[in-house]
Structure 1
Amino acid sequence: MSLAALWTDGPWLRMAGVAYVLCFLYFGTRLSLSDIAVHRLPNRLVARWAGASAALLLLISVLRGNVVDLLWAGLGLLLLGGGYLLIAVLGRGAMGMGDVKLAGVLGLNLGYFSLGSLLLATLFAFVTASLVVLGGMLLRKLSMKSHVLRPVHDPGCGDRPGYDTMNGWLPPNSSRHCATMSAPHRSGCQG
């Protein structure tokens, strides 16, 4: 099923499609702003997005008379959420659990429409992240041991480069960011 099909299959499906897109935009924007500001993805927002998405996808499936697509959504949740969980476990702190939970919600939403869109979006995210890291390394702002885009909101927390949305790349030993998961929790720092 494609997202475009929601606009051509009658007024009720069209309204459900609008609600779905607005839900995606609302929660996606709120979580993005939170991640940029404090490098946290609040559980309550992720859970609400998961619940709202599941309910809207169920409604769309019922209106279309095709609940099989819900199985694809569940598979997308398992594939993307499970893949990110694997990276989080094997990466020993390279990825936070907020990212894992968000990946599950994104897998649910993308998997509903097609596993191809799930694969393409995942590939796009990893290629984009790789280009950001490569650019940082070429500019000598990052090294192979750098923690990219770590929290930068809490003064006095670490000793590795990070990215501050106000000031750009921060040098090592800067007091404007948290750098490691194992750093001592000073002044409320949660790496």
Structure 2
Amino acid sequence: MFYILETRYLVLYQKDVEFCLTGDFNARTASSQDIDNQIVDDISNQPLDDLMEVVLEERRVMEQYFDDSRKCTAGRRSEDKILNRYGERLNELSSNVGLYCLNGRCGQDINLGKFTCNETSVVDYCICSPKVLPCIEDFYVNDFNSLLSDKHNAVCYEIRKRENKHQLTRAVEETVTNVTKVRWKDDLHWPEDSSAFPCHFNGPGT
């Protein structure tokens, strides 16, 4: 499963597609970290292809983001103290390709890492690509609701949409410029025949 995720991530990465993976991974990661600075140091000392250069640069940008942000931390915590094999693989995947787990790192769950299953384990995660992380406004684990699941808590996150200010302003101006106006003819009354209703309007701009 993790090999497939890594392969598909690299395909999306090369297409400049950002994403969040959310759900039950059956992976217990405890408080082990998904950012391995040693890997970054090792990569820095090796000949790089274009893709790895981009990955490394994004890592450096994210390090600066963590230094400046109050919403997320570089390290993460968890109430679950068990690390299983799937958890190791998930951390390895995240570390290798630069994905970031929101659990225990962001929003209301920062430095907590609340249980997501049976009040005994953390197996449900939200994991995002680098450019999504600065857009995360909040992350939290809801209280258990038996109407939603037999044993899992809902993991919730809020994302702020990034806008290109120039493009947004231009789009608004074009919309305002091309708006069509209609006006009711003052000398006419509501028709008994509803099919005649549209005829009681003047054309655009009149």
Q: Which structure has more strand as a fraction of its residues?
A: 2
TM-score interval, smaller chain = under 0.3
User: Which structure: greater helix fraction?
Assistant: 1
TM-score, length of structure 1 as denominator length: 0.27
Normalising by structure 2, what TM-score?
Answer: 0.26
Q: Looking at both structures, which has the greater relative contact order when contacts are Cα pairs under 8 Å and sequence separation is at least 6?
A: 2
Structure possessing the higher radius of gyration over alpha carbons? 2
